[in-house]
Structure 1
Amino acid sequence: IKIFNITNPAAPFFVSTISLIGNQDIAVKNSYMYADSYTDLIIYNIANPASAVIVDSIKNVFQKMYYGDPGFYGNFGGSSGCGCSTDEVTPVYATNNGGSGVGGSLARFAIAKNYLYCIDGNSLTIFNLAIPAHPAYISKINVGWDIETIYSYNNNLFIGGTNGMYIYSITDPQNPVQISTFTHARACDPVVVENNRAYVTLRSGTTCGPSENALHIIDITNISNPSLLKTVLMDEPYGLSVNNNIVYVCDGVGGIKILNAANLTQVEFLKVLGSTMPHDCILSSDILYVTAQDGIIVYNVANPASPVRLSMIR
């Protein structure tokens, strides 16, 4: 795990490296980072990011191995490869508690309501973060085979899987309850949410199974009965972000595509940014961080139709 200082997005700099074998994903809340190491959850104090310290661990809470698309960087499709954190973060496109990091759409970890939710294989594992340095394991519930990504928004968790999107209520945060499922042809399926819409990418040509390459825009006004509003064809979509109806799609060989989805009768392509196989993207205010094959590219997207490249993290 590499830590960079991004106080100035135009001039990020390397801070430290944390050696951790078997790591797939992380989540950050205030001064603590939660990371998996094979079957274990490892908790770090990162108050001094130049010298992170392990403060606790919980053994044997995850499955022994991950299955699925080798994707980028030799891992399953469900790791964004990047996370952004400050001491007090209010994510642009989510409503995590203040202090939670901004995760990508391919993340397997999500923090909401002072709980950490982790997915692997077919289960959702829940931890209470009331004492951040010493999380308490709550339970593990079965969701569905080949779930890949998790995204929290308001009082719900949106879980992407190869067969569809699962929506769970976390009104009672330690007892998630399934509300509904939006099914599709077998495909890889990250999801992000804004207001009454969910945005899902589907990608073919992987171990997720044959399907279309597309962005699905889904109406979740009735959270118990999500319905498809619009399909936008893509080349090879992976992760995505959304803010104010502007959707950023990492479209693999197609580059980074920026769309205005305010008017669904005519979704407008604002810009296509060339990039070496973009994988996932994270929005923090007007800054877009894109994980790609050759590094992390940083853009200012205050004007989405004319993004400004600020820097590259390698």
Structure 2
Amino acid sequence: MMLGHFESVVSWGVFASGNYVYLTADTLGLQIIDISDPANPVQVGFFDTGSIANGVFVSGNYAYVSDGFDGLRIIDVSDPTNPTEAGFFNTGDRTLDVVVSGTYAYIADGLAGLHILDVSDPANPVEVGSYTPPGTARRVYVDNNHAYIASGSSGLRIIDVSDPTNPLEVSFVSPAFSTQDVYIDGNYAYIVDWDEGLRILNISDPSNPVEEGYFDTATEGVAVHFYNGNAYVADNRTGLWVIRNDLLTGIEKEETFPQSFALHQNYPNPFNPGTSIRYELPKRSRVELQVLNVLGQEVRTLVNETQSPGRYEVQWDGRDNYGRRVASGVYLYRLHAGEAVQTRRMLLMK
């Protein structure tokens, strides 16, 4: 079900965080869209990246933009209405996408393949590793020590990056037409395959991915992101579309809710300065999601409200309840939902 629409002349990349969607719009640069009302998205900020803005990833207060032949642009978006540049890196080819996990940025750099940068200092990124798969590296997503590269006519390439200085390919998926983008959610990879729509792969075993579903998009799908149960799909001709995530068995079937309570591992982890926490509710519940220190003392309350059954994603920016940045180290995050309680650990690195 389509919930809302923001008209953009050209859209190549999309990332949702908090109440904002960050849209890369070719020569129009980075557009920042307020989605607090999904039915009425409104642009609140803009940054001219200088070249062709392709992919975007937001981590903490920074938007990492792959800007064609101008390389990687690192934009401070702590004030979404006034974004400013914090740093850049010249990759040497056509930079098409970027993902940040922990202190590393993974860049899809066209025919030059995958670059891995240390971005612990956003003002001074440094390359530590690289890998060149077949085809054109268009998009990249990193999850559980694997990089998933959308490589156009060479399909989806799955790379083991447990050692960032020595990435190794473990499997690949042939394209239906031309694999443009990939997003990982749990055990599933969602890939946009141009005119062939959105394909859903089970990647519980990254060395043996299996296709399990699809959604037939209307025209030229180029990018996809999942957030709070909705798919945000960037279309090359018609802008941003917001679609409810009923995709596992097809959009025409009845909506399905989670069958059990679940709290997932945060992503990225380790992280700096921000991370995402996903959880699932099988029924309407009073929900409290808190960040605790290792002594069990409250650091930040992220959610404290009654929520309907569904899948949720919450951002933590590494700050406490008073807006102060917390120290590096191990933190706990605990979810109460009715009678259910679950706690996980995460690592903040600076």
Shift of residue 145, structure 1, vs aligned partner = 1.2
Number of the residue aligned with 1:193: 142
Q: Could you say if the C-alpha distance between residues 297 and 195 of structure 1 is closer, same or farther in structure 2, counting changes exceeding 3 Å? A: same
Q: Deviation per CA, 1:117-153, whole angstroms, max 9, x where unpaired? A: 2232232222334454434433333112111112222
Query: Which of 261, 284, 288 pairs up with 2:231?
Result: 288
Residue 176 of structure 2: aligned partner: 235
CA contact (8 A) 1:235 1:253 kept: no
1:298-313 counterparts in 2 under 5 A?
Answer: 298-301=243-246, 304=248, 306-309=249-252
**Does structure 1 conserve the Cα–Cα contact (< 8 Å) formed by 2:14 and 2:223?**
no
Bigger Cα displacement from structure 2, 31-40 vs 129-138: 31-40
What is the correspondence of 1:167-246 to structure 2 with a 5 Å cutoff? 167-204=116-153, 213-236=154-177, 237-246=179-188
Structure 1 Cα separation of the partners of residues 190 and 33 of structure 2 = 31
> C-alpha displacement at 1:160, in angstroms?
0.7
Cα distance in 2 for residues equivalent to 1:233 and 1:166: 22
Residue type of the partner of 1:300?
N
Identify if the C-alpha distance between structure 1 residues 290 and 135 changes in structure 2 by more than 3 Å, giving closer, same or farther: closer
Does the CA contact (< 8 Å) of 1:33 and 1:44 recur in 2? yes
Tell me the distance in 2 between the aligned counterparts of 1:27 and 1:216: 21
Q: Amino acid of the residue matched to residue 193 of structure 1?
A: V
Deviation, structure 1 residue 39: 7.4
Aligned to 1:153: 101
Deviations 1:214-235 (A, max 9, x none): 2111111112211000022122
The equivalences for 1:250-261 within 5 A come to: 250-261=192-203
> In the alignment, is residue 111 of structure 1 matched against residue 58 of structure 2?
yes
Alignment of 1:27-46 (within 5 A): 38=27
Residue matched to 1:268: 210
Residue of structure 2 equivalent to 1:91: none
Of all paired residues, the percent bearing the same amino acid is 20
Indicate the RMSD between aligned Cα atoms, in angstroms.
3.8
Does the CA contact (< 8 Å) of 1:114 and 1:130 recur in 2? yes
Distance in 1 separating the partners of 2:109 and 2:128: 16
Q: CA deviation at 1:244?
A: 1.6
Superposed CA offset, 1:186-212 (max 9, x none)? 4242111111111112123xxxxxxxx
- Tell me the distance in 2 between the aligned counterparts of 1:293 and 1:21: 8
Summarize deviations over 1:225-284 as a string: whole Å, max 9, x none: 110000221222111211122111222344332111212454322124433454332212
Aligned to 1:120: 67
Shift of 1:181: 0.9
1:113 touches 1:173 (CA, 8 Å); kept in 2?
A: no
Determine the structure 2 residue equivalent to 1:12: 3
Task: Tell me the SS of whatever aligns to 2:96.
Answer: strand
After superposition, the Cα gap between the structure-2 partners of 1:294 and 1:114, relative to the gap in structure 1 and judged at 3 Å, is closer
> TM-score if structure 2 supplies the norm length?
0.57
2:222 paired residue number: 279
Q: Which has the higher strand share?
A: 2
Distance 1:171 1:287, change over 3 A: same
Q: Return the alpha-carbon distance in structure 1 between the equivalents of residues 159 and 125 of structure 2.
A: 22
Which amino acid counterpart does residue 202 of structure 1 have in structure 2?
Answer: S
